[in-house]
A and B are shown apart, each in its own frame.
Chain A
């Protein structure tokens, strides 16, 4: 199978601090990774797309200086929420894909971020 892990599964941080979330493809190389955000009782909203070795492409309305994405290797992408505020509290989900097009996305289990 194709397994994607996320770490941590949940994190609580204080307002103003930064938090890093890791997304790993465990048994395949992921050329492309995606980051989503999910609010309670709402759908997953795509935040950004990252290709290994390239800068991430952010969706409209997503602050790239606040949500830093690094896809430095074919098995690891990180999302750093900088200077977090309570409104950043959410469920963050990553997915990974073997190629740049025509391939299935495999999803991680998500990370619950709570900013106090």
Chain B
């Protein structure tokens, strides 16, 4: 079956640091890949997505590239802000459009 593995948190960084949250997946076929973000007290929000190999998703300074050869979709941001503190979920969607999530990574940015 499908599965998503992402780095365990929590992750604590200083403001303006470089961020990487690793995500690898196992799936049959050609899934779409997503990063969702959950701010305190709110529902999950789609941060970015990529639907085919070598696609790069980007939003709000975050980027992730769909790497089929390494089955990875790592999330990166060059300079994090305190407002980026949240829980980040990597996910995939199969052709049935069901989402499979990773366990989430809690990110805390210190001023």
Contacts and interface: CB of A to CB of B under 8 A. Distances in A.
A107 B45 contact: yes
B111 interface: no
A4 B45 CA distance: 11
A110 B103 contact: no
A49 B43 CA distance: 18
B104 A46 contact: no
Interface size class of B (residues with CB under 8 A): 10 to 19
Given A43-B4, A43-B89, A44-B89, A108 B101 contact: no
Interface in B93-111: 97-104
Given A43-B4, A43-B89, A93 B43 contact: yes
B27 interface: no
B43 A41 contact: no
Given A42-B103, A46-B98, A105-B99, A93 B44 contact: yes
Interface in B72-100: 89, 97-100
B41 interface: yes
Interface of B: 4, 36, 41-46, 89, 97-104
Interface of A: 4, 34, 41-44, 46, 49, 93, 95, 101-102, 104-110
11 contacts: A43-B4, A43-B103, A44-B44, A46-B99, A46-B100, A93-B43, A104-B46, A105-B46, A105-B99, A107-B43, A109-B43
Q: What 7 A-B pairs are tightest by C-beta distance, nearest first?
A: A107-B43, A107-B44, A43-B101, A44-B101, A109-B43, A43-B103, A108-B43
